[in-house]
C-alpha cells in the first residue's frame, strides 16, 4: 500500500519560498469562524478498494487525520464541507472531451456508474465521521469552484468564509484543482499535507511543492490546529 510520508520541502524550495514571501508559511494566523475545511472526494469510488473505479491506495489511511481535523474545525467554530464527486448526464456534453477522449469507453462507463448519486460508490467512506451540521456539496468536475461544478463559492461567501483548508484525494487531481481555483477566487488556501493522498508519493509531494511556492500554503494537521486554537 502507498503511504504518504510527512511532507518535507527541500532546502532549495524553502529558500525560494522565503525569498518570495519573507516566510515559509503564508498564513500564520487562522480565524476559525472564517475557515472551512473542504474534504474532497473521500468516497467509496476512490477510497474503498472493492468496486472503486480509481482506487487511491493511501486514502483510507488519512481518515483518522481527516476526522481529527474536522473535529478541531468544528470545536473552534469553523465549517466542515464534504465534497462529493458526482456524475450526471449533463456533464457528458459539458465535459465531452474528458468522457470521450481522455477515457476509454469501458472506463467512462465504470466511472459514470460508480459516481452517480444514490450508488454505493458515491457514498462517503465508512471510516469518516461527518456530523449533521456539516455541509455536503456535490461537484461535477475536478474543481469544486469552476463554473457549473457546484454552488460552493456562493455558500462560502454567504457565510463570510475567507480561509480554506483542503484535504482529501487525490492530492494532485481534485484537491489541487479545487485549491488552485480557490486561490484564484481570493481565498486564503492551505493544503493540509497529511490529510491528502495521491496515487504515488512523488505525485503527492510534487503537487504540494508547487502549491506552496505558487498558490498558497501547505501545513500539517497539527500546525493548522495550533493556529486555530484559542489564544490566551
CATH at residue 93: 3.40.50.850
Q: Is the pLDDT of residue 207 over 80?
A: yes
Q: How many folded domains does the chain comprise?
A: 1
Q: Residue 87: its pLDDT value, please?
A: 83
Q: Residue 11: its pLDDT value, please?
A: 97
Band (pLDDT 50/70/90 cuts) for residue 105 is confident
Is residue 29 a part of any domain in this protein?
no
DSSP per-residue codes, the chain: ---PPPP---HHHHHHHHHHHSSS-S-----GGGEEEEEE--BHHHH-STT-SS--TTTGGGHHHHHHHHHHHHHTT-EEEEEEE-B-THHHHHTHHHHHTSS-HHHHHHHHHHHBTTSGGGSBPTT----TTSEEEEESSSSSSSTTT-SHHHHHHHTT--EEEEEEE-IIIIIHHHHHHHHHTT-EEEEEEEEEE-SSHHHHHHHHHHHHHHT-EEE-HHHHHHHHSPP-
Distance CA 31, CA 221 (A): 15
Is residue 207 a part of any domain in this protein?
yes
Is residue 12 a part of any domain in this protein?
no
Q: Is the pLDDT of residue 83 over 80?
A: yes
Is residue 122 a part of any domain in this protein?
yes
Band (pLDDT 50/70/90 cuts) for residue 4 is confident
Is residue 130 a part of any domain in this protein?
yes
- Which residues span the domain enclosing 76? 34-228
Band (pLDDT 50/70/90 cuts) for residue 48 is very high
Is residue 113 a part of any domain in this protein?
yes
Asked whether 124 and 42 are in contact (CB, 8 A), the reply is: yes
- What pTM was estimated for this model as a whole? 0.94
Question: Which residues are bridge partners to 75 per DSSP?
Answer: none
Q: How many CB atoms lie within 10 A of CB 13?
A: 16
Is residue 25 a part of any domain in this protein?
no
Mean pLDDT over all residues of the chain? 92
Asked whether 46 and 56 are in contact (CB, 8 A), the reply is: yes
Q: Which three cell numbers stand for residue 162?
A: 475567507
Q: Residue 231: its pLDDT value, please?
A: 75
Is residue 13 a part of any domain in this protein?
no
Q: Is the pLDDT of residue 89 over 90?
A: no
Amino acid at each position: 500500500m502507498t503511504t504518504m510520508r510527512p511532507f518535507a520541502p527541500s532546502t532549495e524550495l524553502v529558500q525560494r519560498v522565503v525569498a518570495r514571501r519573507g516566510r515559509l508559511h503564508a498564513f500564520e494566523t487562522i480565524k476559525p469562524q472564517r475557515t472551512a475545511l473542504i474534504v474532497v472526494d473521500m468516497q467509496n469510488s476512490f477510497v474503498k478498494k472493492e468496486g472503486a473505479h480509481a482506487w487511491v491506495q493511501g486514502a483510507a489511511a488519512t481518515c483518522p487525520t481527516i476526522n481529527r481535523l474536522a473535529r478541531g474545525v468544528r470545536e473552534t467554530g469553523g465549517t466542515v464541507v464534504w465534497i462529493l464527486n458526482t456524475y450526471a448526464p449533463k456533464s457528458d456534453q459539458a465535459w465531452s472531451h474528458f468522457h470521450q477522449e481522455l477515457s476509454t469507453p469501458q472506463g467512462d462507463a465504470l466511472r459514470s456508474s460508480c459516481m452517480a448519486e444514490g450508488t454505493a460508490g458515491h457514498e462517503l467512506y465508512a471510516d469518516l465521521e461527518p456530523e449533521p451540521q456539516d455541509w455536503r456539496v456535490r461537484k461535477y468536475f475536478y474543481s469544486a469552484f469552476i463554473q457549473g461544478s457546484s454552488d460552493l463559492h456562493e455558500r462560502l461567501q454567504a457565510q463570510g468564509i475567507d480561509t480554506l483548508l483542503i484535504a482529501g484525494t487525490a492530492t494532485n487531481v481534485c484537491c489541487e484543482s479545487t485549491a488552485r481555483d480557490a486561490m484564484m477566487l481570493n481565498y486564503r488556501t492551505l493544503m493540509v499535507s497529511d490529510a491528502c493522498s495521491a496515487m504515488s508519493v512523488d505525485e503527492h509531494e510534487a503537487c504540494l511543492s508547487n502549491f506552496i511556492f505558487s498558490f498558497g500554503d501547505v501545513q500539517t494537521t497539527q500546525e493548522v490546529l495550533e493556529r486555530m486554537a484559542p489564544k490566551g
